[in-house]
Amino acid sequence: MTIPELFDSLDYGPTPESPAEALAWIESRGGIVGPFISDSWGPLRTDHDLRNPATGAHLAHMTQCTVEEVAAAVAAARKAQSKWAALTGHHRARIIYAIARLMQKHARLLAVMESLDTGKPIRESRDIDIPLAIRHFYYHAGMAQLMETELPDRAPLGVCGQIIPWNFPLLMLAWKIAPAIATGNTVVLKPAEYTPLSAMIFAEICQEAGLPPGVVNIVTGDGATGAALVAADVDKIAFTGSTEVGRQIRRATAGTGKALTLELGGKSPYIVFDDADQDSAVEGLVDAIWFNQGQVCCAGSRLLVQESIAEGFYTKLRARMETLRVGDPLDKCTDIGALIDPSQHAAITAMVEANTEGETFRSTAPDGCYYPPTLITGLSPANPLMQDEIFGPVLVASTFRTPSEAVQMANNTRYGLAASVWSENINLALDIAPKLAAGIIWINGTNMMDAAAGFGGIRDSGFEREGGWEGLRAYTKPANPPKSTAVPKRPRATDQIAPEGLDRTAKMYIDGKQARPDSGYSRVVHGAKGKLLGHVGDGNRKDIRNAVEAAAKATSWAKTTGHLRAQILYYIAENLAARADEFTVRLTTAGIPVKAATLEVETSISRLFTYAAWSDKLDGTTKDVPIRGFVLAINEPVGVIGAICPPEMPLLGTISAMAPAIAMGNRVVLVPSDIFPLAATDLYQVLDTSDVPAGVVNIITGDPAALADTLSKHMEVDAIWSFAEPALAKDIETNAATNLKRTWITRRDWIKSGEGRDFLNAATEVKTIWVPYGE
Amino acid sequence: MDTVPDQTTQLPLAPQARNPGMGLDLDWIGRVQANTSAIERRCATLPGRRSIKKDHQAAWLLKAVSCIDLTTLSGDDTPGRVARLCAKARQPVRPDLLAALDLPNLTTGAVCVYHDMIAPARAALAGTTIPVAAVSTGFPAGLSPFHLRVAEIEESVAAGAAEIDIVISRRHVLTGNWQALYDEMQAFRRACGKAHVKAILATGELGTLRNVARASLICMMAGTDFIKTSTGKEPVNATLPVTLTMLRTIRDYHQATGHRVGYKPAGGISKAKDALIYMTLIREELGRDWLTPDLFRFGASSLLTDIERQLDHHVTGAYSAARRHPMG
């Protein structure tokens, strides 16, 4: 076109970023990528063919690492770990700082390679992915520097296996590797089979930065290589990817004692209230669902608009969609690039085509692995597209009438990763944020991320946080872990009966009331010498069902003030103290010596005080992120916690599980010691007289293994703790995969190390709330 | 590649029908929202989202030249100074460069002066179609007696100004007296008669982006042809967030009434690169149709020099120097 023609058309014209340097980089390395183990490359094989999703052109070949090659990588990491952890924090900090600097120096190469490999627009890899990845290393260089002074009680986990997805290859690599090596772990990382290229550049950067061999190892391959890594001799698996694979990993690691971080899928709500800045909310959607072709786990993919403004809002949104430019990822004017693979295109197409409801609007996309920005309005929550993750540039929308209905609809999902709230009313926005079931809330914004702020979800979106101080928890363990204790032997029954005065009937404690066991059966309780001391109900799955239902209903406990929860815990302690002698005697009938029984009761009272104290003191924090605004990290209750109490110390064991859980606003279903449940059933009257609201504490006696099985499979249970026989762990953690409930398996000395931060952490989830401001 | 074909781009642009205005709709004003952080984010990421290179960039810069209100608003303006400015408006870019770029007859959008300089400007522009714009209504503060401000418009129109840049009473915005602002704008528009009117909001003095949005809408409801950011005399003049806020009200007004209102950022835009960013924002938010002198102007003086240097570079391949381009 001539200049006068362009003067009229004012087209943007092509502005391609050259792939030449990135392609030359691949060429100069022989055109094959493969494992990086202990500072050396290979073996390099042509097992896989890597293609540019935008063009289908061949980029490189890739090795599919075998079980043996994965084992070699893990062995290299194991060998390097103690030396790496033994370096000073400052030494580690210097190396991580050097990695950050080198990434900055190679920023454009990394960005172009990322776009070639993933099909994402160069604008995003250049302005978002790579800078955020670099920021992550800078931030964690600081964490390495500060670890000795600020986290003196924490130690590295050891060797971490890390499996990352194809949507943000380098950024996810940074999120995984930076906190791990900052805290003295060594890693074996498996990039996604579609997108290993930026990780290869990163490996060279590690060498240049002087990272000791074996600290960062990379294995390449598909899911089979990933499965080999999960099964290998690692201390932790950190996985970002689909909920389905997350479940498989949960099952595969069940009972192994491997730590686990899962960042999984989402169907994040994007709520627009009638007083929102609608144009900004429309623009926000561009960053929410049309960022990275919608292939984002935290994408605001479920639009909920207040009914009174919906039509006007949709009109604005459709107009905005018309100006989105879909095409060549390397063109600097491209908003939406190529999907990762034709199979992804087929999957999205199938989901959208299966839908017959609502009104579908789409703008245009070129042929090939491109999908047009799509908006489907008028869907109800019952529509599969409102429930299932599409992982493409498809926005589904529905309307709500009131703020409470917005919350209801937003939370009507299996997932719980992120949520956006748009309103100019600070009261409304800050009221809604805590009510949303998600790990990350953005007020008047979306997809904001930073190394200083925790990222991660609840429910089927996974668990643990990445980023910030809370992210380090997932890569460290107590420097002096509590010693595991042996499970006591069960008394052998005799036919003797201990004379005990008037017969008492211990039932279940459900919804603030004593309830007969559904089974109609009782279990005999024996003293240490085998004497029959009494009976407790033999709880079954229906008792668990009833208890969980009561616990789930008692939602107001979570919203009550820490002060009030403290008052009630103090009151429990007060009432327990008033009956201390009675409990001591009760414990002695189980064969516990008087001195030990007295100590157990006294410690129980002290423990209640500890958590009464904590009720209003587990403060949230504000994060220093590079925006004008607040980023709040608040500790929210996990929800309904099922706890299998230790068989020993029947009173203290029960209190040790109950008190931290309810102090933080959770509701509990406790399965007390099966050896001597009477100490727990005696608590009913203490709870009744202490103003504990109905449903907050529920106690089901019976066979721990059977009850744990039901509890750990229950979809309404958000976390399960097991302080009982370690043998239960495998079943519990396998079952926990159903709804990805958090699990905590521990055995310890309940007098010496039965309280503290570990318990508080298990009882809370960090919710990160982004509140940009400005007028 | 442009995947969203714009059907209108190849058509000759018809002269704009003027905005007749509408009744004062206070409900609409009450609904106005502007989230500063979100608006700033949009502005901050925009330059990374669109890039214009080579011939396209040259064409865009030439378009920018055609949209410049070449301005002198100084107490020491003289007929000679204004004549020099007008000569530059007639020949904004060196003839050899314009010939190379195949747009030999390019001029700026207008010349913008104080009332007393209208006559010299008219004389200097004789034989061209370049309009003379006059700032008016007690520019820049707008605090002279109302009847004098109206009379000033009438005198400037009588003196041959084709465009009148009025200043609004900021106090009406700051005190929420929307009716007074509406009435004032209507009176100014009436006084302009056939001359087009640009409403200067002095956004740097309105305190908030919401006020900017409200004032923009009121002026449009009262029939302004253009909304303009600043006098150039406020501490903060045109900015991208203010621009985005005003563009969105123009879009809403168009959506609601079908009338197109023009936009003029003024003050502080002195680099070719900045001009491209402003134009990109307009193309993205309002569409190609708005990038015409009928609906878009830059209020600028030094911007032209930087554009000339960029065009010189485009034609010759070598970086240029200011002294090689005739001053205005």
**How many independent structural domains does chain B possess?**
1
Percent of chain A with pLDDT over 70: 99
For residue A499, name the pLDDT band (cuts at 50, 70, 90).
low
Nearest CA in chain A to B281: A323
Whole-angstrom distance, CA of residue A590 vs CA of residue A678: 9
Whole-angstrom distance, CA of residue A329 vs CA of residue A335: 8
Chain B residues at the A interface, defined by Cβ less than 8 Å, are 1-4, 9-10, 33-42, 45, 48-56, 58-60, 62-63, 101-103, 208-210, 248, 255, 279, 283-284, 288, 291
User: Residue B291 and residue A327: Cβ atoms within 8 Å?
Assistant: no
The number of CA neighbours under 13 Å toward the Cβ of A733 is: 24
Whether a cis peptide bond, with omega within 30° of 0, leads into A43 is yes
> Is residue B192 assigned to a domain?
yes
Q: Which tokens in the block code for residue B84?
A: 């020099």
Examine the pLDDT at A502 and tell me if it is beyond 80. no
Tell me the shortest Cα–Cα distance from B144 to chain A, in angstroms: 31
Q: What are phi and psi of A333, to 5 degrees?
A: -100, 10
Let me know: does B173 contact B210? Beta carbons within 8 Å. Answer: no
Give residue A501's pLDDT. Answer: 62
Task: List all residues 6 or more positions away from A758 whose beta carbon is below 8 Å from its beta carbon.
Answer: A478, A746
Tally Cβ neighbours within 10 Å of residue A85.
18
Q: Which tokens in the block code for residue A153?
A: 């009680």
Fill in the amino acid letter for A603. Answer: T
Tell me the shortest Cα–Cα distance from A682 to chain B, in angstroms: 57
Task: List all residues 6 or more positions away from B96 whose beta carbon is below 8 Å from its beta carbon.
Answer: none
For residue A533, name the pLDDT band (cuts at 50, 70, 90).
confident
The arithmetic mean of pLDDT across residues A83-93, rounded, is: 98
Q: Which of A7, A124, A125 to mutate to test the interface with B (most CBs of B within 10 A)?
A: A7
> Is residue B94 assigned to a domain?
yes
Query: pLDDT by residue (tens digit) across B40-97?
Result: 999 999 999 999 999 999 999 999 999 999 999 999 999 999 999 999 999 999 999 9
Let me know: does A317 contact A285? Beta carbons within 8 Å. Answer: yes
Query: pLDDT by residue (tens digit) across A584-623?
Result: 999 999 899 999 999 999 999 999 999 999 999 999 999 9
Nearest CA in chain A to B213: A277
Chain A residues lying within 8 Å of B210, measured CB to CB: 775
**Using CB atoms and an 8 Å cut-off, which of residues 324-353 of chain A contact chain B?**
324-328, 331-333, 335
**Using CB atoms and an 8 Å cut-off, which of residues 477-516 of chain A contact chain B?**
none
For residue B11, name the pLDDT band (cuts at 50, 70, 90).
very low
The arithmetic mean of pLDDT across residues B182-208, rounded, is: 98
> Is residue B24 assigned to a domain?
no
Examine the pLDDT at A398 and tell me if it is beyond 50. yes
Let me know: does A237 contact A253? Beta carbons within 8 Å. Answer: yes
Q: Positive or negative, the Cα torsion across A430, A434, A436, A438?
A: positive
> Is residue B19 assigned to a domain?
no
The arithmetic mean of pLDDT across residues A668-681, rounded, is: 96
> Is residue B22 assigned to a domain?
no
Nearest to A396 by CA among A269, A244, A548: A269
CA end-to-end distance (rounded Å), chain B: 38
User: Has B54 been annotated as catalytic?
Assistant: no
> Is residue B12 assigned to a domain?
no
The arithmetic mean of pLDDT across residues B248-258, rounded, is: 98
The arithmetic mean of pLDDT across residues A254-279, rounded, is: 97
Let me know: does B278 contact B63? Beta carbons within 8 Å. Answer: no
Chain B residues lying within 8 Å of A364, measured CB to CB: 3-4
Q: Which tokens in the block code for residue A338?
A: 């190529």
Query: pLDDT by residue (tens digit) across A312-325?
Result: 999 999 999 999 99
Q: Which tokens in the block code for residue B60?
A: 């865009």
Let me know: does A329 contact A54? Beta carbons within 8 Å. Answer: yes
Percent of chain A with pLDDT over 90: 95
Nearest CA in chain A to B42: A283
Q: Does A277 touch chain B (CB under 8 A)?
A: yes
Examine the pLDDT at A505 and tell me if it is beyond 90. no
Domain enclosing residue B169, as ranges: 37-324
> Is residue B46 assigned to a domain?
yes
Q: Ramachandran region of residue A123, left (φ > 0), alpha (ψ -120 to 50) or beta? A: alpha
Examine the pLDDT at B320 and tell me if it is beyond 90. yes
The arithmetic mean of pLDDT across residues A498-525, rounded, is: 87
Let me know: does A413 contact A283? Beta carbons within 8 Å. Answer: no
Give residue B7's pLDDT. Answer: 39
For residue A688, name the pLDDT band (cuts at 50, 70, 90).
very high
Element (H, E) at A48: strand A48-51
DSSP string of A718-731, one letter each residue: -EEEE-S-GGGHHH
Query: pLDDT by residue (tens digit) across A419-433?
Result: 999 999 999 999 999
Examine the pLDDT at A726 and tell me if it is beyond 50. yes
Query: pLDDT by residue (tens digit) across B140-185?
Result: 999 999 999 999 999 999 999 999 999 999 999 999 999 999 999 9
CATH number of B191's domain? 3.20.20.70
> Is residue B20 assigned to a domain?
no
The arithmetic mean of pLDDT across residues A464-474, rounded, is: 96
Q: Positive or negative, the Cα torsion across A539, A544, A549, A553?
A: positive
Q: Across-strand partners of A32?
A: A61
Let me know: does A392 contact A297? Beta carbons within 8 Å. Answer: no
Which stretches of A364-492 are assigned E, i.e. beta strand? Answer: 374-377, 394-400, 418-422, 440-443, 462-463, 476-478
Q: What are phi and psi of B151, to 5 degrees?
A: -65, -35
The number of CA neighbours under 13 Å toward the Cβ of B186 is: 13
Chain A residues lying within 8 Å of B284, measured CB to CB: 323
Burial class (CB in 10 A: 0-12, 13-18, 19+), A486: exposed
The arithmetic mean of pLDDT across residues B187-194, rounded, is: 98
Nearest CA in chain B to A321: B4
B34 → closest Cβ in A14, A277, A773 = A277
Q: What are phi and psi of B29, to 5 degrees?
A: -60, -40
Examine the pLDDT at A293 and tell me if it is beyond 90. yes
ipTM: 0.95
Q: Does A772 touch chain B (CB under 8 A)?
A: yes
Tally Cβ neighbours within 10 Å of residue B174.
13
CA distances (Å), origin B307, targets A375, B83, B125, B279: 41, 21, 22, 14
Of residues B69, B165, B225, B312, which has the active-site annotation? B165
Annotated catalytic residues of A are 263, 297
Q: Does A315 touch chain B (CB under 8 A)?
A: yes
On average, the pLDDT of chain A sits at 96
Nearest to A175 by CA among A215, A228, A147, A134: A134
SS (H, E, C) A28-40: HCCCEECCEECCE
DSSP string of A288-322, one letter each residue: HHSGGGG--TT-EEEEEEEGGGHHHHHHHHHHHHH
